[in-house]
Structure 1
Amino acid sequence: MSAGSIRVVLADDHAPIRSLIRRVLEADGCVVCGEGASAADAIRLAVEHEPDVVLLDIHMPGNGIHAAQHISRKLPEVAIVMLTQSDQDDDLFDALRAGASGYLLKTSDPEAIPASLRSVIAGEAAMPPALVTRVLEEFRGPSHQRFARKSSAASRLSPREWEVMEMLSQGISTDEVAKRLFVSPTTVRVHVSAVLRKLAVKDRDGAFALLRDV
């Protein structure tokens, strides 16, 4: 895909940053087809223009992660890239869960942004190496290996049911699991009920015992 074919919606509540990013993108042949300052702007412009990429700040009015979640559900073919000052793990992982395929820091060279967008459109993830390392460490960590994924019990669960039970087994509350997965607490409880039924156990502890690597 050539740079000139990339259509971008840009949302950031800092006008000087928007102006800088717009200049960088247009100098590289990209087309900024919409520009806004809030999550609501981003959602509206994405629906209106159906761009190739939506470039979102996280801490703008309405929350960029909320915008990413909405856009990824409404327009799954549109790539989402976060452009932010935050290198905090919570923001990084919440953005990825919301559907972002890229996570770029404003402290990085802005001239590299067009190439990052092309990478995302080509199906690759885009983020600084240090953040890639954090993602790998998170998913390789012992907290993600509490259960035996190849056990006969585990094979009965859907990926989302597995994810819910993994979090609950770490002592994460139902409300916090719901927040991390962008669902309601009732939905989490429905998943748990389904797991108990599939595993023919009475409670969560019984499910954890079957799923744990023994």
Structure 2
Amino acid sequence: MTVTVVVADDQELVRSGFGMILDAETDIEVVAEAADGAEAVTAVRRHGAQIALLDVRMPGMDGIEACRAITAAPGCRVVMLTTFDTDEYVYAALRAGASGFLLKDVRREDLVHAVRVVAAGDSLLAPSVARRLVQEYASRPVRRPVAEAARLAALTARERETLLHLARGRSNAEIAAALTLSEHTVKTHVGNVLAKLGLRDRIQAVICAYETGLVVVGGAPEPPGTPDG
């Protein structure tokens, strides 16, 4: 099945370059290019695109606002692009619903891989962006609102362990090795975590783990309890 993509960047050479890279793949089709967020939102809706590749900083409607508008309705997932891994908008973009975040100096093969991964329903963060997310929480006072922490009550002990590993950025294969489980079982646990907590993908799971206090930056994680499956 062909993955349809809208590429948005206010620099024509940048967006056309990314477009050419993606269009060269037999399973990916760039259906439109956009110079700002508003054009991107319109293009996604007009073409029913599955992926929107958005620059964070664009004139008028920026990538954050466009991401929020696009992800408000099902059907299209967002991969954000930025020039610097210290971009202050990283956290805002993830909260707006982005499923992937890459630097603009991303290698050709990594860009294509990111589009395929996100189109398949998973999420992807460049390692430096993941560090930025942790730094965002490290700069905040430790908090654990009762309402947030109570969300975890629906999880089994094993599902809480799985969430801990997700928060550390581990893949299903790595989680399976750590918990001595099959990848199929881990995939089931991940799916249960997302469903029970009302989360869209692994990135939201990472954010949830920090916001609920399950993981504390600079401290030991909350004991996961006795595994029960």
Question: Structure 2 length normalisation: TM-score?
Answer: 0.58
Q: CA RMSD in A?
A: 2.4
Q: Residue 125 of structure 2 is aligned with which of 117, 122, 127?
A: 127
Deviation at 1:150, TM superposition (A): 8.8
Partner SS for 1:28: coil
Question: Structure 1 length normalisation: TM-score?
Answer: 0.62
More helix by share: 1
Runs of 4+ in 1 over 2 A off after TM superposition: 133-139, 141-151
What residue number does 1:93 align with? 91
Larger Cα Rg: Structure 1 or Structure 2?
1
What residue number does 1:77 align with? 75
Please give the alpha-carbon distance, in whole angstroms, between the structure 2 residues aligned to 1:110 and 1:14. Answer: 18
What residue number does 1:35 align with? 33
What residue number does 1:10 align with? 7
What residue number does 1:193 align with? none
What residue number does 1:21 align with? 18
Please give the alpha-carbon distance, in whole angstroms, between the structure 2 residues aligned to 1:65 and 1:135. Answer: 16
Please give the alpha-carbon distance, in whole angstroms, between the structure 1 residues aligned to 2:50 and 2:122. Answer: 14
What residue number does 1:116 align with? 114
Letter in 2 for 1:27: A
CA contact (8 A) 2:102 2:129 kept: no
Q: 5+ residue gaps in structure 1?
A: 157-214
Q: 5+ residue gaps in structure 2?
A: 152-229
Q: Is the counterpart of residue 61 in structure 1 residue 96 in structure 2?
A: no
> 1:151-190 residue pairs with structure 2 within 5 A?
155=150
Please give the alpha-carbon distance, in whole angstroms, between the structure 1 residues aligned to 2:34 and 2:147. Answer: 47
Q: Percent identity?
A: 36
Partner SS for 2:56: coil
Deviation at 1:47, TM superposition (A): 1.0
CA contact (8 A) 2:21 2:108 kept: yes
Deviation at 1:148, TM superposition (A): 6.3
Partner SS for 1:34: strand
